[in-house]
């Protein structure tokens, strides 16, 4: 993808590892400056900042618990300072809600604590973080929610997780409608099974599971982080400027 003529700034939650890390690096290669969040591993975040800088772009890593909405005002204040001091521009051009975790449990065995944790990170967090970020998001900006192929196909053990992602897909359509007057595009990207450490790295590390998924995927393999980072970069580009309120699945045709 061609480098941007005018640099832009994206915020990606959960950008220090996995899909978020790859998206940060691919956006940097496309000419974006990045602010990304991390939760537990400062060393991983610092490594991603260094990698972005090596690509000639600016980067800031900010700590955030995406499931703690009480922390959002302080986070936004820190974000404003970082934009001024490091990025050199006061507005965000894109927000990517990527932070998340999975719980694999049968419906009958899903605890209320796990349900609430999923709710806070995957639904309440994006809802109220976007609300808090609206003054910093430029007109004509983009919001992208990372969902899951599990909202289209059903696999036992993911009822609670998929329920949250399904709600986010509904939220996407409402935000597209309500923010359209500002020229803000809002979409959902739904990955299929990807080789990362998500869910304990089962898709990546369990050869039997990897082979099963590959056998159920039209393109004949499991997804890789760069497949999703590339899709995120494409959806944030000007070339995707007439796409809003949509769910786009990037699964290689999993269970097609």
DSSP summary character for residue 199 = G
Indicate the pTM of the whole model. Answer: 0.95
174 is catalytic: no
73: pLDDT strictly greater than 70: yes
Number of domains in the chain: 1
Whether 216 is in a domain gets the answer yes
Q: At what angle are helices 18-29 and 42-54 packed, to 10 degrees? A: 20
Going by the DSSP 8-state scheme, the letter that residue 83 receives in this structure is I
DSSP assignment of 156-188, as one string? TT-HHHHHHHHHHHHHHHHHHHHHGGGT-EEEE
Compute the distance between CA of residue 87 and CA of residue 248 in angstroms, rounded to an integer.
Answer: 30
Q: Please name the helix (run of DSSP H) or strand (run of DSSP E) that holds residue 215, with its range, or none.
A: helix 207-215
Task: Answer yes or no: is 102 within a domain.
Answer: yes
Cβ neighbors of 112 (< 8 A, separation 6 or more) are none
Task: Please give the pLDDT value at position 28.
Answer: 98
Q: Is 49 helix (H, G, I), strand (E, B) or coil?
A: helix
Residue range 128-162, pLDDT digits in tens: 999 999 999 999 999 999 999 999 999 999 999 99
pLDDT (tens digit per residue) in 24-47: 999 999 999 999 999 999 999 999
Which SS3 state, helix, strand or coil, does residue 14 take? coil
Instruction: Identify whether 256 is part of a domain.
Output: no
Average pLDDT, the chain: 95
Structure tokens at 41: 């591993």
pLDDT on residue 94: 98
Name the residue range of residue 150's domain.
8-250
Instruction: With cut-offs at 50, 70 and 90, classify the pLDDT of residue 2.
Output: low
The DSSP-derived string for 110-139 is: --HHHHHHHHIIIIIHHHHHHHHHGGGEEE
The per-residue pLDDT for range 82-108, each reduced to its tens digit, is 999 999 999 999 999 999 999 999 999
Query: Would residue 97 count as lying in a domain?
Result: yes
Q: What is the CATH number of the domain that holds 225?
A: 3.40.50.720
Among candidate residues 161, 163, 169, 204, the one labeled active-site is: 161
């Amino acid at each position: 993808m061609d480098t941007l003529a005018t640099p832009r700034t994206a915020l990606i939650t959960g950008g220090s590892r996995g899909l978020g890390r790859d998206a940060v690096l691919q956006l940097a290669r496309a000419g974006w400056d990045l602010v990304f969040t991390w939760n537990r591993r400062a060393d991983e975040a610092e490594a991603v900042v260094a990698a972005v800088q090596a690509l000639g772009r600016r980067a800031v890593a900010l700590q955030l618990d995406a499931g703690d909405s009480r922390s959002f005002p302080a986070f936004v204040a820190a974000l404003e300072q970082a934009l001024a001091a490091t990025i050199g521009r006061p507005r965000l051009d894109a927000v990517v809600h990527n932070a998340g975790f999975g719980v694999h449990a049968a419906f009958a065995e899903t605890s209320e604590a796990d349900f609430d944790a999923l709710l806070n990170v995957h639904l309440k967090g994006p809802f109220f973080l976007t609300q808090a970020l609206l003054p910093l998001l430029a007109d004509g900006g983009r919001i992208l929610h990372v969902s899951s192929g599990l909202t289209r196909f059903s696999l036992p053990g993911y009822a609670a997780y998929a329920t949250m992602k399904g709600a986010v897909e509904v939220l996407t359509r409402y935000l597209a409608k309500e923010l359209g007057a500002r020229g803000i595009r809002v979409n959902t990207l739904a990955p299929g099974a990807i080789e990362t450490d998500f869910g304990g790295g089962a898709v990546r590390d369990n050869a039997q599971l990897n082979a099963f998924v590959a056998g159920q995927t039209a393109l004949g393999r499991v997804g890789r982080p760069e497949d999703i980072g590339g899709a995120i970069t494409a959806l944030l580009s000007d070339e995707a400027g007439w796409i809003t309120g949509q769910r786009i699945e990037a699964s290689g045709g999993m269970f097609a």
